[in-house]
Chain A
Amino acid sequence: MEFWQNSINVLVLGSIYVLIAVGLSMIYGILRVLHIAHAGIYTLGAFLSLSIMEVTGNFWIALILSAIISGFLGALMYRYVYKFVLKEERIVPLIVSVGLFITMQDLYRIIYGPYKYPFSISIPIPYIRAGNFYISPLQMLILIITGIILIGLYFVLNKTRIGVGLKACANDSQMAAAVGVNTKLTIALAFFMGSALAAVAGTLVGVYDNSVYPTMGSTVSYKAFVVVVLGGFGSLKGSVIAGFLLAAAEVFLVAWKGFFLPRDAIGFLVMILFLIFLPNGLFGRKER
């Protein structure tokens, strides 16, 4: 029974990791920029949802609007920040990204103060219980939303012109432009989609933990990085699998009584091992 209960926890935690990491991986795949500020968007998403929820009283409107606004902000970040430093050495966009993330976090602190805001919603999903095994409505909500998003993403990437254009850009953006793909728009779109996903993840975590606060993105920014390293940089399939694998490692190792490290240490331990022995991750290919 404990195993099944833990499996549900893995799916829920993994869903969150996947939602964050897929966007990060998508952006890395196209621009080769490690977009640390992605975690800033995640926090923004949570705050936006909370604020919109307070005004409208409707969680779904809050979730969708927050995703759209965050998506636009992500695209603007590309257009007005990254675009100017992409031709510099790779360390430059990375530093810019860290700077953006810190600025965003401090902005949230100035606007909202260093407090934890409760974010509770009531959703019409029944509590599923069978003996000791249960799925809470919030867990169900996370699983359903992640499921819908992943299916939608798979469809967009594999069955639409936009998706093919994105894949071509990730392979060779100059050549993609030569066959007629508007690469500027496509890259902006990747930022839009990735940022919208991060905002959804931030909102779901805010609701699940019933708290939204300015530094909630701190651990997340590193965790997402771990997932992307495990999956292989730029591989979306890798990020999805690695997100669930990391969640499984965390949940089952912590449940095992003999394990003495804190939960967040597991990911980093695994990442260090991967960087030493399998630096291209599970599905990554060698950088040219």
Chain B
Amino acid sequence: MLKVENVSISYGKIAAVKDVSIYVGKNEIVAIVGANGAGKTTLINTIMGFVTPQEGKIFVQDHEITSLPPWKKAAFGLAIVPEGGRIFRDLTVKENLFLGAYRIKDKSKIDNKMNEVFQMFPRMRERYRQIAGTLSGGERQMLAIARALMSFPQILLIDEISMGLMPKLVDEVMEAIHSLKSKDVTVLIAEQNTNEVLNIADRAYVMQNGLIVMSGTATELKNNSKIKESYLGI
């Protein structure tokens, strides 16, 4: 579904991502874990097209999309829930959701999706006419996910969704992401909260200083002594 081949990205002289290759299969949830500054966000942003890689290639279902601008990547079914949510703060919740469905022309499809999203996040229905900037931190994250879902994504990129959320909300959000599996959405999720994300992921890659240093199924990694020590704090 999504393939990243030997991608390297540097900002000036600083290499943020070095020769990274990853693969995400259809309907899989794949996690990228690692410490702050490991290059996770850069990798996610590169896949979405916010950053252009100096080397390497990115494919979606065998179409090369490496240096396409984000709006063209969106047409390949990519959507992003970026770090901090980055909702459109001056617009209403309604406008944010409609912007998520910007490419969808069929009104009834949008309405159906909207109902689906409301079932997942009933809070969004209550806040429908509110300016998004006035939402609480948790609600903003929910809106960011809801906005991404409105585009009927095939591949959802999620970056540090648990950041700044209280533990109870983290569980809720992770549960929501897990439920996407049954809805035909493929997920690549970058997350510092290793413990939580390994509970919902099928596989994971471990990033350190821009390199992939380890990979495997979530269960394997959870039982790996090195991971336990450095990331799970057990």
Q: Is A bound to B?
A: yes
Residues in chain A within 8 A of chain B (CB atoms): 161, 164-165, 167-168, 170-172, 174-184, 285
Taking a contact as CB atoms under 8 Å apart, the answer to whether A175 and B151 are in contact is no
Q: How large is the interface on B (under 10, 10 to 19, 20 to 34, 35 or more residues)?
A: 20 to 34
Instruction: Please give the distance in Å from B11's CB to the nearest CB on chain A.
Output: 13
Give the A-B pair count, Cβ closer than 8 A: 66
Taking a contact as CB atoms under 8 Å apart, the answer to whether B99 and A177 are in contact is no
Asked whether B70 is an interface residue with its Cβ less than 8 Å from the other chain, the reply is yes
A168–B103 Cα distance when bound, in Å, is 14
A179–B95 Cα distance when bound, in Å, is 12
Task: Give chain B interface residues in 48-105, CB to chain A under 8 Å.
Answer: 48-50, 69-71, 73-75, 79-80, 82, 86, 88-91, 95, 98-100, 102-103
Residues of B within 8 A of A183 (CB): 69, 71
A167-B90, A168-B88, A171-B91 as given contacts; A176 in contact with B50, CB under 8 Å: no
Which of A167, A170, A175, A176 neighbours the largest number of chain B CB atoms within 10 Å of its CB?
A: A175
Residues in chain B within 8 A of chain A (CB atoms): 48-50, 69-71, 73-75, 79-80, 82, 86, 88-91, 95, 98-100, 102-103, 147, 151
Taking a contact as CB atoms under 8 Å apart, the answer to whether A180 and B102 are in contact is yes
CB nearest neighbor in B for A182: B71
Which of A165, A175, A179, A183 neighbours the largest number of chain B CB atoms within 10 Å of its CB?
A: A179
Taking a contact as CB atoms under 8 Å apart, the answer to whether A178 and B90 are in contact is no
Instruction: Please give the distance in Å from A188's CB to the nearest CB on chain B.
Output: 14
Taking a contact as CB atoms under 8 Å apart, the answer to whether B90 and A175 are in contact is no
Taking a contact as CB atoms under 8 Å apart, the answer to whether A180 and B75 are in contact is yes
Q: Which 6 A-B pairs have the closest CB atoms?
A: A177-B70, A180-B74, A180-B103, A171-B88, A180-B102, A178-B70
A177–B68 Cα distance when bound, in Å, is 11
Taking a contact as CB atoms under 8 Å apart, the answer to whether B82 and A177 are in contact is no
A47–B69 Cα distance when bound, in Å, is 39
Taking a contact as CB atoms under 8 Å apart, the answer to whether A167 and B88 are in contact is yes
CB nearest neighbor in B for A161: B102
Taking a contact as CB atoms under 8 Å apart, the answer to whether B102 and A181 are in contact is yes
A164-B95, A171-B89 as given contacts; A177 in contact with B102, CB under 8 Å: no
Residues of A within 8 A of B102 (CB): 161, 164-165, 168, 179-181
Of the residues B48, B91, B95, B98, contact of A178 by C-beta under 8 Å:
B48
Residues of B within 8 A of A176 (CB): 88, 99
Instruction: Please give the distance in Å from A71's CB to the nearest CB on chain B.
Output: 23
Which of A161, A165, A171, A180 neighbours the largest number of chain B CB atoms within 10 Å of its CB?
A: A180
Taking a contact as CB atoms under 8 Å apart, the answer to whether A171 and B90 are in contact is yes
A174–B151 Cα distance when bound, in Å, is 16
A161-B102, A178-B80, A181-B102 as given contacts; A172 in contact with B71, CB under 8 Å: no
Which of B69, B73, B99 neighbours the largest number of chain A CB atoms within 10 Å of its CB?
A: B99
CB nearest neighbor in B for A173: B70
10 contacts between A and B (CB under 8 A): A165-B99, A168-B99, A168-B102, A174-B50, A177-B69, A178-B48, A179-B102, A179-B103, A181-B71, A181-B99
Residues of B within 8 A of A165 (CB): 99, 102
Taking a contact as CB atoms under 8 Å apart, the answer to whether A179 and B151 are in contact is yes
A170–B90 Cα distance when bound, in Å, is 9
A171-B90, A175-B88 as given contacts; A180 in contact with B151, CB under 8 Å: yes
With contacts A167-B88, A168-B99 known, what are 19 further pairs, Cβ within 8 A?
A161-B102, A164-B98, A167-B95, A168-B91, A170-B90, A171-B88, A171-B91, A175-B82, A176-B88, A176-B99, A177-B49, A178-B50, A178-B80, A179-B74, A179-B79, A180-B102, A180-B103, A181-B99, A183-B71
Of the residues A170, A174, A285, contact of B70 by C-beta under 8 Å:
A174
CB nearest neighbor in A for B69: A177
A179–B75 Cα distance when bound, in Å, is 9
Residues of A within 8 A of B95 (CB): 164, 167
Residues of B within 8 A of A167 (CB): 88, 90-91, 95
Residues of A within 8 A of B80 (CB): 178
A165–B101 Cα distance when bound, in Å, is 11
A285–B147 Cα distance when bound, in Å, is 24
A172–B90 Cα distance when bound, in Å, is 10
Instruction: Please give the distance in Å from B95's CB to the nearest CB on chain A.
Output: 6
A108–B188 Cα distance when bound, in Å, is 56
